[in-house]
């Protein structure tokens, strides 16, 4: 009999994980799996559980929780030789990775689509020795979002990140950067640097409209040091999905990017505080198998 592990964060989504637990278990049994339930209690539990599933040659691992739980699960799968196919039941504030894969945001719909979903190998990213799924951001605007509280995220969703970021625009602080990528080099001052792995970032699905989940590329945007009125126009371009065409934005794609700066910049990794520069960011192409809705093929 096939084996599946359900990794559940009981505190995710206003404790919605517990509400939907029986539905997931029933669906997996219906799909022919013998199911092991693992509930997280502390940080990195999901990583340990996912590694166990690999070592014990499980056929599937289903992550039910927020982006943090999903990141930990993917971290557990990333380095393993035997990788179960990953199922995702999104209960987070943003759920960018699930959005990019066309997985429904409604938990019950996400559970139901598992029955017809097909395995698809997708990209993940690596920043220094850590893994990420969606975006790396550098600059004061990106660092401002570290202050977004759980209450703000619950109440405002993705908008909470934008509000905190926009608060810093009036005190815009440019920083110097040296970027090397795929044999090329860029040097100059910027207000923000974005490296997107998927088309959905912060809940907005138009930042990098050309990004595919397995194209092996980082879609990179350097927001140059410009006057305030131009920065507002750039943000409008971001929302419209035309950022790469803005004259004050440098756009390129790359498989690997190295960033250094004279300023002590802290990376924003999928919305959370990450490593300081210097950074090496790269794409691990088609690195993990994920259950995706058939329409995403």
Tell me the per-residue pLDDT of 64-74, one tens digit each, with 9 for 90 and over. 998 889 999 99
Are 90 and 228 part of one and the same domain? no
Are 90 and 193 part of one and the same domain? no
Q: What is the pLDDT of residue 225?
A: 82
Residue 107 belongs to domain with CATH number: 3.40.50.10330
3-state secondary structure of 121: strand
Q: What is the pLDDT of residue 287?
A: 97
Q: Which of 117, 150, 170 is the last residue of a domain?
A: 117
Residues 6+ away with beta carbon under 8 Å from 128: 275, 279, 280
**127 within domain boundaries:** no
Q: Any idea what the Cα angle at residue 201 is, between residues 207 and 11, rounded to 5°? A: 165
Mean of pLDDT values over 266-288: 93
**Which is nearest to 192 in space by CA: 214, 162, 223, 231?**
223
β-pair partners for 118:
292
pLDDT at 98 over 50: yes
**At 109, phi and psi to the nearest 5?**
-70, -35
Mean of pLDDT values over 229-249: 73
Mean of pLDDT values over 130-134: 92
Q: What is the pLDDT of residue 154?
A: 53
The percentage of the chain sitting over the pLDDT mark of 70, rounded to a whole number, equals 83
Greater pLDDT, 225 or 214: 214
Greater pLDDT, 52 or 203: 52
Residues of the domain holding 41: 2-117
Q: What is the mean pLDDT of the chain?
A: 86
């Amino acid at each position: 009999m096939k084996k599946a592990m359900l990794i559940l964060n009981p505190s995710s989504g206003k404790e919605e994980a517990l509400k939907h637990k029986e539905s997931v278990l029933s669906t997996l049994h219906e799909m022919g799996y013998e199911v092991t339930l693992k509930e997280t209690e502390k940080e990195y539990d999901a990583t340990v559980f996912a590694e166990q599933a690999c070592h014990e040659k499980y056929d599937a691992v289903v992550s039910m929780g927020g982006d943090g739980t999903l990141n930990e699960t993917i971290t557990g799968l990333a380095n393993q030789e035997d990788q179960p196919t990953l199922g995702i039941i999104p209960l987070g504030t943003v759920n960018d990775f699930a959005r990019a894969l066309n997985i429904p945001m409604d938990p019950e719909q996400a559970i139901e689509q598992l029955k017809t979903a097909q395995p698809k190998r997708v990209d993940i990213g690596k920043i220094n020795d850590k893994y990420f799924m969606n975006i790396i951001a550098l600059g004061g605007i990106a660092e401002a979002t570290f202050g977004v509280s759980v209450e703000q995220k619950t109440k405002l969703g993705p908008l909470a990140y934008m509000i905190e970021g926009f608060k810093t625009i009036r005190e815009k602080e440019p920083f110097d950067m040296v970027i090397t990528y795929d044999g090329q080099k860029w040097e100059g001052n910027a207000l923000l640097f974005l490296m997107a792995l998927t088309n959905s970032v912060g809940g907005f699905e138009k930042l990098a409209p050309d990004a595919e989940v397995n194209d092996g590329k980082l879609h990179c945007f350097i927001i140059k040091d410009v006057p305030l009125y131009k920065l507002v126009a750039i943000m409008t371009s971001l929302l419209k999905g035309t950022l790469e065409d803005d004259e004050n934005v440098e756009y390129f794609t790359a498989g690997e990017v190295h960033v250094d700066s004279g300023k002590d910049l802290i990376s924003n990794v999928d919305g959370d505080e990450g490593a300081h520069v210097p950074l090496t960011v790269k794409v691990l192409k088609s690195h993990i198998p994920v259950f995706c809705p058939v329409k995403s093929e």
